[in-house]
Amino acid sequence: NFQILSPTEHRGRRQTQSQEMEESSQDIFIIALSFAYFSKALTGTYMKSSVTQIERRFDLSSTHVGLIDGSFEMGNLLFLAVVSHFGAQLHRPRLIAAGCLLMAVGALLTGLTHFFMGLRHKSKTCCERESSSHMWIYVFLGNALRGIGETPVTPLGISYIDDFAKAENSPFYIACLQTITLLGPMFGFLLGSYCAKLYVDVGYVDMESVTITPKDSRWVGAWWLGFLISSSLLLVSSIPFWFLPRSLPKQGDETDTPTPPSLTLDGAESAQRFLPSLKRLLGTPTYFLFLCAAILKFNSFIGLLTFKAKYMEQQFGQSASRANFLIGVLNLPAVAVGIFLGGLLMRRYKLSVVSGAQLSFATSFMGYLLLLLQFGTKCDNRPVAGLTVSYNGTQSVSYNGEMLFSDCNRDCSCSPNEWDPVCSDSGITYVSPCMAGCLDSSGRGKNTVGRQILLKVSTSARLGQCPHAKDCSRSFTSYMAVSVLSSFINSLGATPGYMVIIRCITPDLKSLALGIQTLVTRTLGGIPAPVYFGALIDSTCLKWSIKKCGGKGACRIYDSNMYRIIFLGLITCLSGTSYFFMIAVIVLLKRQFWKADRDIKLQQRKASKESGIMVQLETQEKSGAGSTSPKLSSDKTDSTGVGKDLEG
């Protein structure tokens, strides 16, 4: 049976089908953008988790690794302003797709560098080693490409959602994006943990012949594998955006006309309006002081995030795999829960701007006090003959290579540049079997044992450094407990702090304020922080590796006491200084909003008085019109009575 529809019914059915397709496109866009956010966050944190592996693979200092890590921000900032300005005029979903594709190419280039260099265990001539020593530039370029590709994803994705979503739905969609984004870093560190456990040339070498373990400072994990996996995820995330429309109708809009993208002004007019707006923005004391605090906090955060796993390796003797695993399983979930509860507190108690700033300051300062406790959770230097202890067993840190020799091994023709540590029965580590006086060996691979040590402290030695003392494990447990609690408390103030910057300025400057904050914090925090953190960490190195063709390579052992003081000291100094700016922000906000509240109350009182006078005049006019007497004024009681009668 065929149903004959009237033109009105036919038009209604077509409109219903069109609305269903539009809703489907909206859902697809939100799901695709969430997956893109997840993929880019996973890749970014995987890069952070692979810092130690890249440093050892390319024989780099921490300063060079910090420069490589900062290349992402360099590429991102290079195109951020251009994409944000012109992106709204173009096909935004396809721009996002192109960005995801470029990030995939960048991650792929980073991972393929391992194959450009060839197998690590394979012997090479000096010239071949020299040419491969500059291969880290490909990692630098791949990371920069990933930064360029990331530029359209966040600003254009958020603006696209804001254009089609209802005002009440937009915050919910953005909150979903942020929640899913938090899963990316967790899986990034877990992937880093898994890859760090695998040997760099896995599948190409007999693992029984490998004489080092993941805790050895020469161990290099399969860092390249994670970049190939993340590149595949980014490639998949780009596919749906190619098939989405340029724009969508506003939710709840009955017409089928799509919401046009935001219009932009021509270059000259835009520049004329930009400079006065920027001057107004930076001339707002509250915003400027908050920006200074944000720069300092972001510096400390980037330095901590970049080198936290390495700190756990050097201070507590953890492997890179275990350090990344614990960060992904303990610290990041605590941060996610803290951010969620912070937003819940803002919504539940409807905190004002001043209350939000106070909550952000209080939680951040409590986390800061917990950070100070980490100075007490430490492990002493491992006893290494000639570096952290003398050959007679006394504690003394030495940066002088001549101290590696003693009367017992001075005539053995040992190389001071060699790093092949052995652990003696006495618990002291020697930088090489030669320095320990080993004459022969037994066993194979990791189980090799050197015998007939010439020094009078022991009779045999095993490959690898001696482990930390037993009380070090208790210190590490205390460190992780304080670290997780500090992460949770710090993150409670993240959402209130973000709301402060939105509400402390006029609405017309809101977008510019967020853009300037992103630009400035990344320029002054994201780029330099890994470099100067790495340079200060390098200053605590006791023994550098020497490349086959000469030149300084990666650090093999650090002075753990100085490492702790410099690393934690730099973080606490940066964070501590930011609180002076935050206190000033709270004082200014109190003045600003208390004055605004007072003005509003005065205006309300004035308006109520004026409305009362108007009501009284209207009542008098009505009473005068209803009276038969020619007098304009009458007795107050009579006019009031007439007024009441009229109102009744």
Secondary structure of 68-134 in HEC code, one letter for each residue: HHHHHHHHHHHHHHHHHHHHHHCCHHHHHHHHHHHHHHHHHHHHHHHHHHCCCCCCCCHHHHHHHCC
For 12-16, 129-133, 357-361, which range has the lowest pLDDT when averaged over its residues? Answer: 129-133
Residue 390 per-residue DSSP state: -
> Which value, to the nearest 10 degrees, does the dihedral of the CA atoms of residues 219, 221, 223, 226 take?
-160
Residues 324-348: tens digit of each pLDDT:
999 999 999 998 888 888 888 887 8
**Mean pLDDT calculated for residue range 221-248:** 91
CATH of domain 289-379+470-529+559-610: 1.20.1250.20
pTM, two decimal places:
0.79
pLDDT at 23 over 90: no
Q: Which residue has the higher pLDDT, 210 or 229?
A: 229
For 231-235, 279-283, 349-353, which range has the lowest pLDDT when averaged over its residues? Answer: 349-353
| Domain residue limits, the chain | 23-118+133-246, 289-379+470-529+559-610, 401-463
The H or E element spanning position 65 is helix 62-86
- Most trustworthy range by pLDDT among 92-96, 341-345, 427-431, 641-645: 92-96
**pLDDT attached to residue 229:** 96
- What lies within 8 Å, CB to CB, of 36 at 6+ separation is 96, 100, 153, 157, 234, 237, 238, 241
Q: Which residue has the higher pLDDT, 250 or 644?
A: 250
**pLDDT attached to residue 16:** 57
DSSP 568-584: HHHHHHHHHHHHHHHHH
Residues 616-635: tens digit of each pLDDT:
666 666 666 554 444 434 34
**pLDDT attached to residue 70:** 92
**How far is residue 218's CA from residue 320's CA, in Å, rounded to a whole number?**
12
Residues 92-151: tens digit of each pLDDT:
889 999 999 999 999 999 999 998 887 655 555 554 554 456 889 999 999 999 999 998
When pLDDT is cut at 50, 70 and 90, the band that residue 263 belongs to is: very low
**How far is residue 490's CA from residue 480's CA, in Å, rounded to a whole number?**
15
**pLDDT attached to residue 450:** 47
Q: Same CATH fold, 289-379+470-529+559-610 and 23-118+133-246?
A: yes
Best CA proximity match to 475, nearest among 351, 349, 564, 571: 564
Query: What average pLDDT does the structure give for the chain?
Result: 79
Is residue 38 within 8 A of residue 181, CB to CB? The reply is yes
**pLDDT attached to residue 533:** 96
pLDDT at 358 over 80: yes
Residue 385 per-residue DSSP state: B
Is residue 258 within 8 A of residue 91, CB to CB? The reply is no
Is residue 157 within 8 A of residue 239, CB to CB? The reply is no
Residues 556-601: tens digit of each pLDDT:
889 999 999 999 999 999 999 999 999 999 999 888 777 666 666 6
- What lies within 8 Å, CB to CB, of 167 at 6+ separation is none
When pLDDT is cut at 50, 70 and 90, the band that residue 188 belongs to is: very high
Kindly state which CATH superfamily the domain 23-118+133-246 is placed in: MFS general substrate transporter like domains (1.20.1250.20)
Strand partners, 450: 441, 461
**How far is residue 622's CA from residue 635's CA, in Å, rounded to a whole number?**
14
CA 386 to chain centroid? 39
**pLDDT attached to residue 504:** 77
